[in-house]
Amino acid sequence: MRRKSVEELKELKQAGLTLAYTGLESGDPVILERIKKGLTPEQAVKGMAKAKAAGIDILVSIIFGIGGKERSREHIVETTRLLNIMKPEQIAPITRCMFSWDFLITDAFFCKRTTGFRF
């Protein structure tokens, strides 16, 4: 969304685009840099604002465990913070296969306990 103008997005909406899927992956700028996402949290917020101005709903994907144990807390806190700013219509949390369910459940519990965010 960040590479399109609001006018271009409105044209896409008029052509029938009602929901766009975007892979945020994380709200932590360190993780985004490490995975070479090519997107900053600020750019994600601006892109979301343009999509909303054009009337396009957004589904945002995030990846549980992408920060590993080292950045687990930062990933949870910053991703939740960013999602609460962006307010996407839908969220699609996905997992990395190498992590156990215990780790993922702990991640989700920690997120809810520290931020109040609900999945």
Question: Per-residue confidence of the chain (119 residues) as pLDDT tens digits?
Answer: 888 999 999 999 999 999 999 999 999 999 999 989 999 999 999 999 999 999 999 999 999 888 888 899 999 999 999 999 999 999 999 876 444 444 444 555 555 554 454 54
pLDDT confidence of residue 1: 81
pLDDT confidence of residue 107: 53
pLDDT confidence of residue 55: 97
Q: What count of other Cβ atoms lies within 10 Å of the Cβ of residue 118? A: 7
> pTM, whole model, 2 decimals?
0.76
Domains of the chain: 6-115 (3.30.750.200)
Q: How far is CA 44 from CA 58, 75, 94, in A?
A: 11, 15, 18
